[in-house]
Amino acid sequence: MKVAESIAEFRKLRADLAEPVGFVPTMGYLHVGHLSLVREARERSASVVASIFVNPSQFAPTEDLAAYPRDLDRDLALLEAEGADLVFVPEAEEMYPDGYDTWIAVEELTTRLEGASRPTHFRGVATVVGKLFVIVEPQIAVFGQKDAQQALVIDRLIRDLGFAIELVVAPTIRESDGLAMSSRNTYLEPDERVGATVLRQSLLLAERLYADGERSAKMIRSRMQELIASEPLVEPVYVSLADVTTLEELETIDRKALVSLAAKVGVTRLIDNIVLPPGEGLL
Ligand code: AMP
């Protein structure tokens, strides 16, 4: 496995990779969820590229950029064991040199859900992923459904700018008690870690109500909110049942829907989601 810190060095090494190339962008501090994306890329590609970059432009000044967990040596060992061929690990100055002034904004889709509470987040995500696509030139890119709105934004970006990239959205990997794996779970205090399982439980409640024939989005939302409110350590930011393509809130679940939520658990902001009907993919 090769590792490149600069764009120039990366391009030299990239030229030697067998095609097609599958790409997994990450912010590091890797867990089994990230590694499942590498495995997915491996199955679909002749070579696998991963990137580790804690992208400053997707963090608001009030967010956890400085505190974001990092362990590069461990990450590289995990990627090597998973069979990655080339890893791009730029510093912020390499991606955003002095005078950097070019941004990619996916507009309508980013006004909702995560975008509503994090107004500059997706501009940072779209810009860095667009730039990584230009540098890495993958034929396949693998993202996790865990960040469902992000995957939809990348899908829009690929279509709108005409990248010749197949987007694969891989399922959310969970801890044994159902909590979606996240690098941010390490921030949770032990009692918060227990309380956080209510998020997954509220998604399962939505799935059960749907299976019993409930189609009122308002009813399902309020039952989910009620359940989350029973856990005092968890403060919901939003609970949404939305059209899976536009992310507009639904009144009636009469089409494929994204059930998603964000919540603060102590200082930690967590997100999770499922698609209804169960078994349907996000895209
Ligand atoms: P991050 O390092 O948090 O930016 O995530 C990098 C990629 O891993 C994104 O495509 C995420 O959606 C994906 N990812 C994060 N957590 C999970 C998980 N629990 N299961 C599957 N994919 C995940």
Cα(181) to centroid(ligand 1), Å: 8
Give catalytic status of residue 34 as yes or no.
Answer: yes
**pLDDT score recorded for residue 105:** 98
Q: Is the CB–ligand 1 distance for residue 187 below 6 Å? A: no
Co-location of 269 and 214 in the same domain: yes
In a domain, 176, yes or no: no
Nearest to 139 by CA among 232, 206, 45: 45
pTM: 0.98
In a domain, 270, yes or no: yes
pLDDT tens digits, 81-136: 999 999 999 999 999 999 999 999 999 999 999 999 999 999 999 999 999 999 99
pLDDT band at 30 (very low <50, low <70, confident <90, very high): very high
**pLDDT score recorded for residue 241:** 98
Which of the residues 25, 28, 34, 147 is marked catalytic? 34
In a domain, 163, yes or no: yes
**pLDDT score recorded for residue 214:** 98
Co-location of 52 and 150 in the same domain: yes
Q: Can you point out the beta strands (E) in the chain?
A: 2-4, 21-26, 47-52, 86-88, 140-144, 166-170, 234-243, 257-265, 268-276
Co-location of 257 and 154 in the same domain: no
Co-location of 153 and 237 in the same domain: no
Co-location of 72 and 12 in the same domain: yes
**Which amino acid, residue 105?**
A
**pLDDT score recorded for residue 173:** 98
Q: Is the CB–ligand 1 distance for residue 121 below 6 Å? A: no
Distances (CA, A) of 236 to 76, 85, 227: 35, 40, 11
pLDDT tens digits, 173-191: 999 999 999 999 999 999 9
Instruction: Domain of residue 36: give its range.
Output: 2-170
**pLDDT score recorded for residue 211:** 98
pLDDT tens digits, 223-243: 999 999 999 999 999 999 999
Alpha-carbon distance of 38 to 95, in angstroms, equals: 23
Co-location of 192 and 235 in the same domain: yes
Total of domains in the chain: 2
- The two structure tokens encoding residue 23: 């790409």
Domain at 137, CATH number: 3.40.50.620
